[in-house]
Amino acid sequence: MSSPTEFAELHELIGGLRRCVTSLAAKYGDSPAMRRIVNDTERILNDIDRLDIDAQELELSRGVTLQPMSTEKIAIPDTQYDTDFWRDVDDEGVGGHSRG
């Protein structure tokens, strides 16, 4: 698995790529070739974002926690909500009521 330093370096390089593509787009304008470069860059950026997510999931599956997860339980009361709480709320899809 890659280290945080490798990911930091990757993000730094991606930032450089973004700056270069922006500069090229300003210089060459909106042409089919430039649109392809911009689209390819966006695809790379999306893939890097996905890589970050995948790396976090892999770390979690190995039992390594990247962020402390809260185990605090939140109590939910059994009492009825005040009717004003539900004022102006559509009931579409709840209980089969319909408005006609």
Does residue 50 form part of some domain? yes
pLDDT tens, 54-67? 877 777 666 655 55
Query: Other C-beta atoms within 10 Å of 38: how many?
Result: 15
Does residue 46 form part of some domain? yes
Measured distance CA(36)–CA(33) in Å, rounded: 5
Asked if residue 48 lies in contact with residue 11, where contact means CB atoms within 8 angstroms, the answer is: yes
Which domain covers residue 13, as residue numbers?
A: 4-61
| Helices 4-28 and 32-61, packing angle to 10 deg | 170
Asked if residue 4 lies in contact with residue 52, where contact means CB atoms within 8 angstroms, the answer is: no
Does residue 68 form part of some domain? no
How many structural domains compose the chain? Answer: 1
Q: Which residue has the higher pLDDT, 30 or 55?
A: 30
The length of the chain in residues reads 100
Q: Is the pLDDT of residue 1 over 50?
A: no
What is the pLDDT, as a whole number, of residue 63? 60
pLDDT tens, 75-99? 777 787 777 777 776 666 555 555 5
First-to-last C-alpha distance (Å) of the chain? 58
pLDDT tens, 12-23? 888 899 899 999
